[in-house]
Structure 1
Amino acid sequence: MLNALEVITTVVVGVMVGVEFAVAFVINPILKALPEDSGQLGRAHGGRMLGALMPVWYIGSLVLASIWAIAGWDRPGAGLVVTAGALLILSVVMSLLLLVPINNRSKTWTPENRPADWKEQSNRWDRWHYVRVAVIIGAFTLLVTALA
């Protein structure tokens, strides 16, 4: 049963990392290259879509890692799982304090109502998102290492 939990947790976190990596290094650069207001409208739509899904994914990943850490406390790699869980906690805290406030504003923007500093706010979100991606890649790497 613990083996199934380990695999499920690793897959869930791995897919989350893949989505967030794609947002940072594929989707957002594509949106920035679109003409006129298309990129900003695309980011707003993405913020609504992923803003609804990602909280469940982040919290679910943290819960799964926590259960794995508790259930496998006496097994090799437990320290790696606990450290991965700490990184997932950090990613949730970063999200709540740094990224979600910007996302909550930007997902309602249109060319008619966006603030004058909308590009600066989007760039700030991107910079924090790069850091968050690095944090969750670290968590994923630790989980994979704990499986080995």
Structure 2
Amino acid sequence: MLNALEVITTVIVGVMVGVEFSVAFVMNPIFNALPEDSGQLARAHGGRMLGAVMPLWYTGSLTLAAIWAVTGWHHHGTCLVITAGALLLLSVIMSILLLVPINNQSKTWTPENRPADWKEQMNRWDRFHYIRVAVIIAAFTLLVTALT
């Protein structure tokens, strides 16, 4: 049972890392290169789509890591899982305090109602997101290492 939990947790966190990495280094650069208002509209749509899924994904990943740490308390790699869980908790806190407030505004923007500083707000979201991606990559790396 513990082995299945370890694999499921690692896969779920790994896929989340892949999605967030793709947003940071593939999708947003593509959106930023689109002509006229297309990029802003694409980011707003992405914010709505991922904004609906990511809270469950982040908290679910954290919950699974916590269950792994408790269930495997006396097994090899528990310290790594606890550290990964702490990093996942940090990513949730970062999301709530830094990224979600910007996303909640930007997902409603249209070319007609967006603020004058919308590009600066998107750049700020991107900077926070890069840090969050680094945090979840570190958590994923620790989970993979705990498996070995």
Instruction: Please indicate the TM-score interval, normalised by the length of the shorter structure.
Output: over 0.9
User: Alpha-carbon deviation of 1:86?
Assistant: 0.1
State how far apart, in whole Å, the 2-side matches of 1:95 and 1:19 are.
Answer: 15
Tell me the TM-score normalised to structure 1 length.
Answer: 1.00
Could you tell me the TM-score, scaled by structure 2's length? 1.00
Identify the residue that residue 136 of structure 1 maps to in structure 2. Answer: 136
1:126 aligned partner: 126
Match of 2:11 in 1: 11
Q: 1:142: Cα distance to partner?
A: 0.1
Q: 1:119, 1:29 → 2: CA distance?
A: 13
Q: Tell me the equivalent position of 1:33.
A: 33
Structure 2 stretches lacking a partner, 5+ long: none
Structure 2 distance, partners of 1:79, 1:146, is 8
1:57-68 equivalences under 5 Å are 57-68=57-68
How much has 1:133 moved relative to structure 2?
0.0
Map of 1:21 onto structure 2: 21
Aligned partner letter, 1:44: A
Report the equivalent of 1:42. Answer: 42
How does 1:66-105 map onto structure 2 within 5 Å?
66-105=66-105
The residue that corresponds to 2:116 in the other structure is: 116
The count of corresponding residues between Structure 1 and Structure 2 is 148
| Runs of 4+, deviation exceeding 3 Å | none
Deviation at 1:130? 0.1
SS of 2:40's equivalent? helix
Q: Give SS of 1:112's match.
A: coil
Q: What SS does structure 2 have at the residue aligned with 1:7?
A: helix
